[in-house]
Structure 1
């Protein structure tokens, strides 16, 4: 709880770290250390302030930038944030760490967070809200609403978003691409195109992880039709390399020699037209998986490994991995 309090205090203090004041004899304005940029702190709070209230009531009074959390196994529930000029952290749990299925951040800690925030505002009616000042290092640019990247020619909805020049990635969205389809069948067609019987239609080519999330939420997206085999190798609708999500970069993975059931999870996002992923360590194939699935791998010895993944269209990604084996 103390660590969360320090984190949100740092966000509210434009990235400056202050020790928490726990006693009245401690200085009110102790020396601080700049750990985050003003721009990064501003962007985080700007995102969190748009979260709706956990109790479903309309926003009122102070600006509140907040977040919830639920620990693994429902051991406790959290809610933390900045409410006006104050940092507020709520913890709900048992002191003996006994889990409870009701310990869900959004359902129990979040409403309590806003009950305390509202009570705090009511008891301090003359206390002004803390303004969220925009740093000079942050600009607004047009972005594609669905991908969050710079819009390409076919992006259907463009909105304004924050951008840190020289820091934020500059990438033009490849999510939306045009496909020529047959007017009657709706199937993709190969060139040459006939404007009398065919038309161009824009589809969103969602990566496998996002497509899976949409399906789980009951919001499946319309899939682009597959090109005929005759021109599939000459026309690429997508050119997105796989993205390795697990294992993480620059992390040493430790496995215990006595626990042979411990594995490293291999998982990657892939373009929407990829149907299979092949995993390699060096030049050796160690397994294959669907883009939505996880492959478990356990190296036989400790050391440095080059892990790579290739989809069935030949696109690939790789990273270096360090593994230690503990006794």
Structure 2
């Protein structure tokens, strides 16, 4: 591979690419239709191609790697400072190339098709859970107009609606009951979709070696493990475990000056969904640690006593991310005492 760099601005139909030589002097630019991209790069000598992380970036990354190119996918917030001049597609491509040549620039791993499948299953499952929550809240709000208040929670709604439909003495009219019954059928249908996606995720986690290793770590179940694997990949995009926890936003924000360190709350960067899974898994582990005396549980109990359950849970989520990275190939084998 030569020292050339190309910035590729991805789009739905029209792509723009700008090439630079090893001295970062612009040598050519090109506009490509979607069906021309792969043929164009197949006839291009191997180069480093920078792209913004967006819908389709992993697909194009996989295809360009097959053609012998090196690919760097960079988050948009890291590209923006390098875009000069007015907003246009060529300037965007130039900014992407400028960001790609910076040593140490954080990159997004190119997902394998298997990891993308798992991520899609998680996205579909999450969307169904949101739809179910919205549906339950809608039914509770409509019932409140009739003077009937249901407790919060899906289980309360799931139990309460059939009782209301069968009760002949409440304030609900036959017309409204008919419509409410239809909404309840939608709730049952969404429950079925959620169960389907959950079983698919668990099945894949049972078959994947990395997910099986992750599930030996306290706080990791099949849902957490598969989500972590799909986000981190084989771990090669990170040089150390701290980079993983930082990318997931479970490290303190820093606002230091004059040689004085000032640490604030967690940064909450990166994947909110995966961060919430890690914290939920950590919280259950913190609660269970009260009755254990192994090395990790002793650390958790000491931290909980000093800082409380919530900060202890976030601290454990940080540790889980680092331990999880250590168990991913090629990072290495798990340290069973979880001491790092």
Q: Give your verdict on TM over 0.5.
A: no
Larger RCO, structures 1/2 (Cα 8 Å, 6+ apart): 2
**Which protein is richer in helix relative to its size?**
2
TM normalised by structure 2 equals 0.28
**Which protein is richer in strand relative to its size?**
1
